[in-house]
Amino acid sequence: MIATTLTTVDASQRTLARQKTREALPGGGKERVRILSAEPLNAETPLEDLGDDLTAQSQFFVRSHFRGPNLSPRGHVLEVVGAVERALRLNPADLEAMGTRTVTMTLECAGNGRTGLTPLPSGEPWGLGAVGTARWTGVPMRALLEFVRPRPHAVEILAIGADRGRPPDTVDEIPFARSLPLAKAKDPDTLLALQMNGRPILPEHGGPVRLIVPGWYGMASVKWLERIEALAEPFRGYYQLDRYVYDHADGNPPTPVRTIRVRSVIVSPRDGDAARRGQVIVRGKAWSGEGVVVRVQIGVDGAEPSRDATLLPPISPHAWRAWEFAWDATNPGGHVLRSYATDAKGNRQTDVGRWNRYGYGNNAAQAVVVTVQ
């Protein structure tokens, strides 16, 4: 069962968090996400709200490292500098005039599922709701780079957000910043996104301009983008080398967190639900940064998961895939359901995720307990 994500937030924080979320979400008043922390704002989506192909902005998870900046959609300026032939200063309208592309993409926080690791690593106590899928519209980074022409010695593209703060164990304030290898920056689906599901991106989701990187965990998709810099040598910033690395505390050097690992979740029935005896339709989502999910298997009560779920057609190469399974719930009492996804490259979920110091990339199979009556 998923550990509750609210236990680390005291009552006063929860009150402030709810108020802040209601102010941030369209229409206000109806809380659509589960708050983990108020400042900076971090919130996840209840799994039962992940049933649709696209996740509404009001239901989409929020990941913030620092207090969100107050940016003007009209007055915001994006700088493009560094090892380029032509430096630029662009506002969102200038960007949009370069020509946009729309890509449906699943975004997942690297810490999603952290509470499933033992002992619990440091970091936000994410359950399984730090994931969502949206239709992102923006300018391909490739088009921008073709215009500014990186110099031959450029090796990475650094994306810098407008949010600033002081991470643990650091002296100075820094912005949230991450770099991409030049080849990944030139992926045709790497976007400087301006819209989310056909509307301007809300501030808590990184508007007015954010980066969207296909197939990689969400830390690469820098929010509140204010500066792009072509680098002649690899970036060595805090969120590149000190965090978002797999550190297994086994004496081996840490390795970078990048590609989303294959995962599936059960969105219906919910953990703890009761069901009438008979056929129960189990529904869920499955995704991977390595390729389209080609198989989902269901295990019941620890039995070998040899029964296949029915996969619905893919909605995008970069998006999750819906699946359904008809479970013959004939025996009364408590039962444990698990789903296991396999992607086109043969990667498959396991029962136990590998522990690492910061709790990244835990894609262990989810357990859902259902009582048959």
The answer to whether residue 9 scores a pLDDT higher than 90 is no
In-domain check, residue 3: no
Q: What is the CATH number of the domain that holds 363?
A: 2.60.40.650
Same domain assignment for residues 156 and 76: yes
Last residue of a domain, one of 207, 240, 256: 256
Express each pLDDT in 200-242 by its tens digit: 999 999 999 999 999 999 999 999 999 999 999 999 999 999 9
Same domain assignment for residues 224 and 85: yes
Same domain assignment for residues 122 and 65: yes
Phi, psi of 298 (to 5 degrees): -115, 130
When pLDDT is cut at 50, 70 and 90, the band that residue 106 belongs to is very high
* pLDDT at position 14: 35
Full domain range(s) for residue 310: 263-372
* pLDDT at position 69: 97
Please state the rounded mean pLDDT for residues 261-276: 98
The count of other CB atoms within 10 Å of the CB of residue 345 is 12
In-domain check, residue 6: no
Entry pTM: 0.91
| Measured torsion, CA atoms of residues 22, 269, 289, 194, in degrees rounded to the nearest 10 | -30
* pLDDT at position 211: 98
Last residue of a domain, one of 232, 256, 280: 256
Same domain assignment for residues 240 and 280: no
Of 357, 92, 35, 356, give the one whose Cα is nearest residue 209: 92
* pLDDT at position 303: 85
Average pLDDT of the chain? 92
pLDDT > 90 in the chain, percent:
89
Please state the rounded mean pLDDT for residues 111-135: 97
When pLDDT is cut at 50, 70 and 90, the band that residue 31 belongs to is low
Q: What is the CATH number of the domain that holds 107?
A: 3.90.420.10
Task: Return the biggest CA–CA distance within the chain.
Answer: 70
The answer to whether residue 23 scores a pLDDT higher than 90 is no
| For residue 119, cis peptide bond before it (omega within 30 degrees of 0) | yes
The answer to whether residue 108 scores a pLDDT higher than 80 is yes
Express each pLDDT in 78-87 by its tens digit: 999 999 999 9
Same domain assignment for residues 309 and 216: no
Same domain assignment for residues 243 and 279: no
In-domain check, residue 79: yes
Residue 278 φ/ψ region, left for φ over 0, alpha for ψ in the -120 to 50 degree band, beta for the rest: left
Rounded to an integer, what distance in angstroms lies between the CA atom of residue 16 and that of residue 37?
9
**Residues 366, 265: contact at Cβ < 8 Å?**
yes
Same domain assignment for residues 53 and 79: yes
Please state the rounded mean pLDDT for residues 88-117: 97
Express each pLDDT in 138-171 by its tens digit: 999 999 999 999 999 999 999 999 999 999 888 9
In-domain check, residue 5: no
Same domain assignment for residues 88 and 47: yes
Same domain assignment for residues 319 and 213: no
pLDDT > 70 in the chain, percent:
92
The answer to whether residue 25 scores a pLDDT higher than 90 is no
**Residues 231, 81: contact at Cβ < 8 Å?**
no
Report the number of distinct structural domains present in the chain: 2
Of 143, 153, 164, give the one whose Cα is nearest residue 88: 143
Express each pLDDT in 64-101 by its tens digit: 999 999 999 989 999 999 999 999 999 999 999 999 99
Last residue of a domain, one of 191, 222, 256: 256
In-domain check, residue 1: no
In-domain check, residue 2: no
Any idea what the Cα angle at residue 370 is, between residues 368 and 373, rounded to 5°? 175
In-domain check, residue 4: no
Same domain assignment for residues 195 and 340: no
Same domain assignment for residues 178 and 269: no
**Residues 181, 204: contact at Cβ < 8 Å?**
no
